[in-house]
Amino acid sequence: MRTFLFVILAGLALPAAAAPVQPAPAQTKIDPATLKAADRMLTAMGYDRMMQRTSDAMVAQMGPMFRKVIEDKTGEAPDDALINRLTAIESDFLRGTIVNSPELRRAIATLYASKFSAAELYHLAGLYQDPVMHKWSEVSPDMTAQLVPLIHSVAETHSDELQQKIVTAITDYYAARKGASKS
């Protein structure tokens, strides 16, 4: 049962954050001035605080998700000590991989620099001085974290359907390949 529980919880963790930080999609070369403008824009938007708040808000949502998945899969209600332990692990993980990651910040700046010109990024940095944009920077981490359980819930209600489609596609694919090789 412990192995089964581990597999369940591993699926709940945020595996994308554990993957190595990848550069922005291929562009011949990112202009250093544009990359500098992107970093300035991240500073103007309060990137570091936003990442910390997003991480904290996501962790706050993880406890109930862990509790529900463990209960659904094992038939046993986990106690608060286990949920606290799991959310502490998730919190440490997020802080180490997302919040305190200069590599992630540079990758995000590179992504912005691949989509916007330096002039556009300086304009965006200026927009973050507007009170409404300040408010957006403050509320977006909580809003983003509230999306996690919503998306998880919707995806979970359709997971059997998706899994069946994937199994059918794989079965059909290999049947077609087998049929083609006999010809």
Instruction: State pTM to two decimals.
Output: 0.61
Structural domain contains residue 3: no
Structural domain contains residue 25: no
How many structural domains is the chain composed of? 1
Structural domain contains residue 48: yes
**Which whole-number Å values give the CA distances from 36 to 51, 68, 109, 117, in the listed order?**
19, 44, 8, 11
Each as own residue / partner, the long-range contacts of residues 81-90 (CB below 8 Å, 24 or more positions apart, any chain) are 86/9, 86/62, 87/59, 87/62, 87/63, 90/13, 90/14, 90/58, 90/59, 90/62
Structural domain contains residue 49: yes
Q: Output the tens digit of pLDDT for each of the chain's 183 residues.
A: 333 333 344 444 443 444 455 554 554 589 999 999 999 999 999 999 888 888 888 888 888 889 998 999 999 999 999 999 999 999 998 888 888 889 999 999 999 999 999 999 999 999 988 999 889 888 888 888 788 778 878 888 888 888 899 899 999 999 998 888 876
Measured torsion, CA atoms of residues 124, 97, 95, 81, in degrees rounded to the nearest 10 = 140
What is the extent of the structural domain holding 76? Answer: 31-182
Structural domain contains residue 15: no
